[in-house]
Structure 1
Amino acid sequence: MKTWKALGYLGLIPFIVCLYLSSEAEFWGISTKQAFVAYSAVILSFIAGTIWRRDVSTHHDKRYIISNIFSLIAFASLLVAQEVALIILALSFMLLFVYENSIGKQHKLPTDYMNMRFWLTQIVVLLHITGYFLWFG
């Protein structure tokens, strides 16, 4: 398995661990809900930042702005109630995938990368929905 693919799937572990430990667990004074939301915000911002790497030889101001908007949304999700943050983050992951997929079609990104992104996005969104109903439903 390619390193980027392995790292992509290994990135699911913190989400899964936070859900497994459920809502009452705390480590170093941080609740698993807070850790889940914080990790989600970091990952959303990271993935948004990868948009910049696409065809860096040309300037894509729109792409840079959209990337920064997703990073700001990720930051804002840390400042709202956790149940609201889960919704914002889940929607943001979906929208970011849709945007990245449109870029992928234009620039013919490798199919295996986009397939991985599709499945990771589906799993991450499902984990957010699960967390929402487990913790607040």
Structure 2
Amino acid sequence: MPELNLKLPAHVALLGYGGLVPFVGLVILSGVDPARAAVWGRALVGYGAVILSFVGALHWGFAMTAAGIGLAQRRRAFVWSVVPALLAWPATLMTTPAAALLLVLGFALHFAEDRRLAGVAALPSWYLPLRWRLTVVASVCLLAYVWRGAGQG
């Protein structure tokens, strides 16, 4: 599998970093349009919940296809793959500040699980650095919204 360890493919970078645009854009909108900050905050939480669910699904795919993992590790990846969605869904029902904090916790837990899986599975060498950068930016945006006190809705 040497092709897995090449540098980050351009199309993956574009898709990954492009997925940060709504995080950054919505937190900026909440600052420049304070009259609708609560609306932008709900949109930020909704998008964060979708993305957290998406990254959980990555582990379902890894569980089905990753080389180098045993039955117990494969089972753990399948089980873990649904946990982010189970964290994201209640976030959509909470107040915005609490929801944003729950999503940040979910992203942090997921990155920890990514690191654990990368230790036993043959994942691309670019995967963890990319996931780290995406996790940091998404989390900083969610925390910035909460910190600014905009999310009272």
Q: Give the TM-score of the pair, scaled to structure 2.
A: 0.80
In structure 2, what is the Cα distance between the partners aligned to 1:94 and 1:19? Answer: 19
- Within a 5 Å distance, the mapping from 1:76-95 to structure 2 comes to 76-95=90-109
- Within a 5 Å distance, the mapping from 1:9-24 to structure 2 comes to 9-22=17-30, 23-24=34-35
Which residue identity lines up with residue 74 of structure 1 in the other structure?
A
Contact 1:94 1:121 in 2 (8 A): yes
Q: Which residue matches 1:39? A: 47
String of CA shifts for 1:23-45, please: whole Å, max 9, x gaps: 4337xxx8111100000000000
Contact 2:63 2:77 in 1 (8 A): no
Which residue identity lines up with residue 51 of structure 2 in the other structure?
I
Between the aligned residues of both structures, percent identity stands at: 26
String of CA shifts for 1:33-87, please: whole Å, max 9, x gaps: 1100000000000010011111515763322222112111100100111110011
Q: Give the TM-score of the pair, scaled to structure 1.
A: 0.88
In structure 1, what is the Cα distance between the partners aligned to 2:125 and 2:94? Answer: 36
In structure 1, what is the Cα distance between the partners aligned to 2:26 and 2:94? Answer: 19
- Alignment length, in residue pairs? 134
Which residue identity lines up with residue 57 of structure 2 in the other structure?
G
In structure 2, what is the Cα distance between the partners aligned to 1:10 and 1:106? Answer: 29
Secondary structure of the equivalent of 1:24? Answer: helix
Aligned-residue RMSD, C-alpha: 2.0
Contact 2:56 2:82 in 1 (8 A): yes
Task: Mark the runs of 5 or more structure 2 residues left unpaired by the alignment.
Answer: 1-8
Flag the structure with more relative contact order, 1 or 2, with Cα contacts below 8 A and sequence separation at least 6: 2
1:130 to 129, 137, 144: 144
Which residue identity lines up with residue 17 of structure 1 in the other structure?
G
In structure 2, what is the Cα distance between the partners aligned to 1:5 and 1:102? Answer: 22
In structure 1, what is the Cα distance between the partners aligned to 2:133 and 2:97? Answer: 24
Q: How far is the alpha carbon of 1:136 from its aligned partner?
A: 4.5
